[in-house]
Amino acid sequence: MLFSQKVLRWYAMNKRALPWRATKDPYKIWLSEIILQQTRVVQGTPYYLKFIAHFPTVADLANASEEEVLKLWQGLGYYSRARNLHATAKMVTGEYNGTFPNTYAELKKLKGIGDYTASAIASICYNAPHPVVDGNVYRVLARYFGITLPINGTQGSAYFKQLAHQVMDESRIRDYNQAIMEFGAIQCAPKSPNCPICPLNDGCMALQKDLVEGLPVKLKKSKPKTRYFNYVIPLAKDVEGFPYTVIEKRREKGIWKHLWQFPLIESDSEIDLGILKKKIPEQLHFIDATEIYLYNEKPLVHKLTHQHLHTKFWIAECEEVHGHTVRIGALEPYAMPVLLADFIKTFKI
DNA sequence: AAATCGGGGTA
DNA sequence: TACCCAGATTT
């Protein structure tokens, strides 16, 4: 039996009932695909349900503020997805008369829609013959056909793309694309796949050559860089006696763009109170503290894929503070990185 | 071509 | 720890 037919047969028996599987509405398919980029189904599903509940149509999403979109996205990571999601919703609503384009080429022009996502939407919504190539597909193809080219090199990327095109079932592309991804996620798992029970094991080159654990081959990535963050939390009391602080929006490029944070001093290494007191007038001139103390004895290490953030939280008690002031009890509506959302949860004055 | 962009789950 | 996740974009 053909590879594609084996995959489709496996899918018919094993597919999960996922919230976006019941529809061909391009808005919902698009939303699910953006959420699921580099994100596991179990992590993304609650966000998908939240977004559909808040924004039933693309026009609802377009009419929301970016603040609102980022807040709903909080905790999911890769926040450019949320900013691009909002921009594309506005584009579709404003320039496409509220209707998503129905071709791969037109879809790919939209922000946040690359090769994979354009193929996914075109095939799932319109049954257009574009094979998806995601992390699951790389793994399944590399193993079944015994391909040792690195999947993230230029050569390998092109090779897998043409191979995917070669082995797809064009007549059933809508199901086939979801089938091969589901097969990769459930059966042909990254680690310790249960090959003895796999219905594709008879034709699997990796299994024959004992290469299952070694495939796919991936070029090694760079090591994470260490950064030293000093968050200074100003603390003052307003006229009614409520404690308030100051936050700011991250405008520069880099992580967490357009998310909110406390005033930040980044240093080249870990610093103590003495150094901090010298830096505050230089970098955070709006803070005039009567007392400053360290909130966490050991730096909290927040690990991202490419950065390790050694973070100290300093409390700066002030008579008054200027800037974007917010009561401590009213920080919830602001979209913040998990690092800061976690801090706020534990923070007791 | 390589780096960057999060956070969480798994072995 | 190391690796991966329904990748896209920038450098």
A9 and A59 both lie in a single domain: yes
What is the structure's pLDDT at A317? 97
Using the CB atom, is residue A115 less than 7 Å from strand C? yes
Using the CB atom, is residue A45 less than 7 Å from strand C? no
What is the structure's pLDDT at A110? 98
CATH number, domain of A273, equals 3.90.79.10
SS3 content of chain A, % helix, strand, coil (to 5): 45, 15, 40
For residues A136-170, b (16+ Cβ closer than 10 Å) or e, as one string?
bbbbbbbbbbebebbbeeeebeebbeebbeebbbe
Using the CB atom, is residue A53 less than 7 Å from strand B? no
Please give the C-alpha separations between residue A279 and each of A82, A246, A323, in angstroms, as whole numbers. 34, 18, 18
Taking every pair of Cα atoms in chain A, the longest distance, rounded to a whole number of angstroms, is 77
A322 secondary structure, DSSP code: -
What number of other Cβ atoms are within 10 A of residue A105's Cβ? 9
Active site (annotated) includes residue A68 = no
Single residue among A208, A242, A261 that ends a domain in this structure: A208
Whole-number Å distance, CA A84 to C1' B5?
Answer: 13
Does A73 fall in a domain? Answer: yes
3-state SS assignment for residue A180: helix
Distance of CA A144 to the CA centre of its chain: 29
Tokens 């005033």 sit at which residue?
A263
Does A219 fall in a domain? Answer: no
Residue-range definition of the domain harbouring residue A310:
225-346
Whole-number Å distance, CA A82 to C1' C7?
Answer: 14
Nucleotide minimizing C1' to CA distance for residue A181:
C6
Contacts of A197 (CB under 8 A, 6+ apart): none
Does A234 fall in a domain? Answer: yes
A272 and A139 both lie in a single domain: no
Contact present, A76 and A46 (Cβ < 8 Å):
no
A196 and A243 both lie in a single domain: no
Nucleotide minimizing C1' to CA distance for residue A80:
B5
Does A107 fall in a domain? Answer: yes
Using the CB atom, is residue A304 less than 7 Å from strand B? yes
> Residue type at A101?
P
Nucleotide minimizing C1' to CA distance for residue A39:
C5
A138 and A270 both lie in a single domain: no
What is the structure's pLDDT at A220? 83
What is the structure's pLDDT at A222? 85
A15 and A143 both lie in a single domain: yes
Does A220 fall in a domain? Answer: no
A294 secondary structure, DSSP code: E
Whole-number Å distance, CA A113 to C1' C6?
Answer: 13
A156 and A199 both lie in a single domain: yes
Tokens 């706020």 sit at which residue?
A344
Using the CB atom, is residue A220 less than 7 Å from strand B? no
Q: For residue A326, give the H/E element and its range.
A: strand A324-327
What is the structure's pLDDT at A348? 75
Q: Which nucleotides of B are covered by protein (CB under 7 A)?
A: 1-11
What is the structure's pLDDT at A212? 97
Using the CB atom, is residue A221 less than 7 Å from strand B? yes
A199 and A259 both lie in a single domain: no
Nucleotide minimizing C1' to CA distance for residue A124:
C6
Half-sphere exposure of A109 (CA within 13 A, CB side): 10
- The 10s digit of each residue's pLDDT in A67-106 is 999 999 999 999 999 999 999 999 999 999 999 999 999 9
What is the structure's pLDDT at A173? 98
Picking from A331, A340, A293, A299, the residue whose alpha carbon sits closest to that of residue A314 is: A293
Q: Over chain A (349 residues), what is each successive 10-residue block's mean pLDDT? A: 97 97 97 98 98 98 98 98 98 97 98 98 98 98 97 95 98 98 98 96 97 94 94 97 97 96 97 97 95 96 97 97 96 98 90
Q: Which nucleotides of C are covered by protein (CB under 7 A)?
A: 3-11
- The 10s digit of each residue's pLDDT in A275-329 is 999 999 999 999 999 999 999 999 999 999 999 999 999 999 999 999 999 999 9
Please give the C-alpha separations between residue A250 and each of A191, A201, A284, A286, in angstroms, as whole numbers. 38, 50, 15, 17
Catalytic option among A33, A67, A68, A291: A33
Does A309 fall in a domain? Answer: yes
What is the structure's pLDDT at A221? 82
A202 and A253 both lie in a single domain: no
Q: For residue A307, give the H/E element and its range.
A: strand A307-318
